[in-house]
Chains A and B, each alone.
Chain A
Amino acid sequence: MKFHWFHLMPYRVLPDDFTQEDRSVWVDIPRSLYDPKVGHRLYNEYLDQLEFADRMGFDGICVNEHHQNAYGLMPSPNIMAGALARRTQNANLVVLGNSIALYNPPIRVAEEFAMLDVLSGGRLVAGFPVGTSMDTTFCYGEVPATLREKYLEAHDLIIRSWTSPDSFAFNGKYTKLRYVNLWPRPLQQPHPPVWIPGGGSVETWDFCVDHDYQYSFLSYFGYKQAKKVADGYWEVMARKGKEPNPYSLGFAQVVAVANTDEEAERDYAPHMDYFYNRCLHVYVGFVDAPGYRSANSIRAGLTGQIAKSGSWKREGLGWRDFVEHGYIVAGSPRTVVDGLRDAIKSLRCGHLMMLFQIGSMPPELVRKSTELFAREVMPHLRDLWPEYQDRWSPHRLPPEETAVAAPLERYGQGDNTDFAASISGGRMGEAVK
């Protein structure tokens, strides 16, 4: 079983009257609410937390892309992953991910992911979300009716740019390029593992299964609500005669650990409230642009990350309701072990992406929850799914081939020998073809 520490990087100091005064946390939220000096502190605080998660033994640290919002402050998660690559050594860099239909040409994403993969020594997970309706259609002006077609074309181009041994011409409908010739190319071969974060579009299941990608269902309404989506996914796997390998499914879950259940409620309740009520306060008209979801997905009635039904689902709900409905798994280590075992087994998922910094939660609480989880929860769940092989995690360089940030005080002295001397003009690149 694999555990990942997922950061949204929310703006955690929105005013108390935010939901009364402003209609949406996304798209048209007033810019005046953002203070860059606060932002400076937050970015550094949040990167510290991800680096701490690396030290605490999490398998992956996750960042993702959102635009024009206070819910997640990473228009470019690649910048964060780049910063993390230098101060972490163990955890995989799970970028969940880049909304590839938004980039022109999309090989920009292939290039940046290749950079991250090379820089980190092969620790990258490449996430390709379609992106939320708010991010893609309203903030970035994509025509909803053609978004998915554009996404699929961008995907084909990126994969080909990573795997083609030679330069090629690409004649797409949305992108036309004479010379596709990626430098650098990714370290992992044939390419970094691809995870597809989804919000519950039925087409995404087929796409993942057909390409043997990991499907990550991102929802904040917990594992009980997610059962319908997981069942749908496993049904597609069964229909296509694929091995029901739990590692092919990831799930995002809000988690909070304290010494006792009571302490968890006392410490974390206000921050949950902030998350569910302020961070998810999205104007209903932005959630589902016409054409963003197919008729099939609408009829399937699946609710994703920021579900249309989100507001009624959380309205008037308190801590007990959040826990009872499984929106959050929170309490003493024992309570969390039981809750997560239930979640993992009922969904059949091998990768758990967990939010520990929730809404307005300050660093000392984030640290406590993370530490308790790593010491007193993770070990009890590690051994789940022993009969399956995780084919969706990165293959990094062995330690003896891995470069790390040099200690600056000794830079250029002693152990910093010129590795290039040993290559001495040969065509080593040819060997990889």
Chain B
Amino acid sequence: MKALRQLHCGRHQIELYEFGHGEPLLYIHGAGGLFGFDPFLEELGREFRVIAPHMPGYGESTGSELIEDVFDAVLFFHELMDDLGIPSANVVGHSMGGMLAAEMAAFDIHRVKRLVLVTPAGFWLDDHPIPDLFSTDFKDLPALLFHNPRSDTAKMLMMTPDDPQVLTNMYVERSKRLAMASKLLWPIPDRGLKKRAYRITAPTLLLWGESDRLIPQAYAEEFRRHIRDCRFEAIQEAAHMVMYEKPNEFCRRITAFLKQ
């Protein structure tokens, strides 16, 4: 069952996807947001009750002006869980969403049962500078984000429409999304997680696309140094967009970890 629905959450109107039943799984998307074609969510819905909101500023979700920093963002997800009647959940976060998932688990250790950080942002290593996603021209994004930029998946997700009106709409939506993300990631994606990460008690899986060029694997090491109950897994022939590039493998690893 696929469901895109709207709900009031605090001062926001939020659009979210919901799939399946069972133990709740909150999925927090990355800076680019959900594509509207995200088959891994439905796949995870076979085992869990998947809740995947568009963050404020993404899709039809409103109130991005209320989210100005990490604290506002964490508060938003806490409020969303309250409104859905979910006291605690498994949380899976990708990239910027991984940073927020880690922050949630550090802020309130009772909210997050098990934590999956998929190539998370949140740290900065001078020896491994993260490429500047915001200045990367759209045509150069596939090479930065995908293991095989010429794969059908990459082409479909990174398609540039010919119709100028559609193109403008796409540009406006992308600009709106990344503007929201800029408040959490610009100009350096470090908002002090290293100060709080020691508080995370939830068992944590660090999941990487083997050839991630945006957030290199050196960052997995850094997360392992900060989070006590933490394991690392990498998926072959996948990069930053691992959940789109290897959806079955991605879901299998997460399910195995969460069912432990």
- Listed in ascending order, the chain A residues whose CB lies under 8 Å from chain B are 27, 137-138, 141, 143-146, 283-286, 288-291, 293, 295, 298-299, 301
CB distance A285 to B168 under 8 Å? no
B132 CB contacts on chain A under 8 angstroms? 285
CB contacts under 8 Å to A, within B184-233, are 186-188
- Whether, in the assembled complex, B49 has its beta carbon less than 8 Å from a beta carbon of chain A, the answer is no
Most interface-central of B135, B171, B174 (chain A CB within 10 A)? B135
Q: Name the CB-closest residue of B to A290.
A: B178
Most interface-central of A146, A284, A285, A293 (chain B CB within 10 A)? A285
- Whether, in the assembled complex, B72 has its beta carbon less than 8 Å from a beta carbon of chain A, the answer is no
- Whether, in the assembled complex, B1 has its beta carbon less than 8 Å from a beta carbon of chain A, the answer is no
- Listed in ascending order, the chain B residues whose CB lies under 8 Å from chain A are 64, 68, 132, 134-137, 140, 168, 171-172, 174-183, 186-188
**8 Å CB contact of B175 from A283, A284, A291:** A291
CB distance A299 to B134 under 8 Å? no
A289 CB contacts on chain B under 8 angstroms? 134-135, 182
Give Cα distance in the complex from A1 to B171, angstroms: 40
CB distance B187 to A145 under 8 Å? no
B137 CB contacts on chain A under 8 angstroms? 283-285
With A290-B177, A290-B179 as contacts: A144 and B172 at CB distance below 8 Å: no
B168 CB contacts on chain A under 8 angstroms? 298-299, 301
CB distance A291 to B178 under 8 Å? yes
A295 CB contacts on chain B under 8 angstroms? 172, 175-176
Give Cα distance in the complex from A298 to B178, angstroms: 14
B186 CB contacts on chain A under 8 angstroms? 137, 141, 143-144
Q: Name the CB-closest residue of A to B186.
A: A143
CB distance A285 to B180 under 8 Å? no
B140 CB contacts on chain A under 8 angstroms? 285
**8 Å CB contact of A138 from B135, B174, B176, B178:** B135
B183 CB contacts on chain A under 8 angstroms? 143, 145-146
CB distance B182 to A285 under 8 Å? no
A301 CB contacts on chain B under 8 angstroms? 168
CB distance from A101 to the nearest CB of B (A): 14
Q: Name the CB-closest residue of A to B174.
A: A290
CB distance B187 to A299 under 8 Å? no
CB distance A144 to B135 under 8 Å? no
With A295-B176, A299-B168 as contacts: A143 and B182 at CB distance below 8 Å: yes
CB distance from A174 to the nearest CB of B (A): 11
CB distance from A276 to the nearest CB of B (A): 21
Give Cα distance in the complex from A298 to B164, angstroms: 13
Q: Name the CB-closest residue of B to A289.
A: B134
B178 CB contacts on chain A under 8 angstroms? 290-291
A283 CB contacts on chain B under 8 angstroms? 135, 137
CB distance A299 to B135 under 8 Å? no
Q: Name the CB-closest residue of B to A293.
A: B175
CB distance from A399 to the nearest CB of B (A): 49
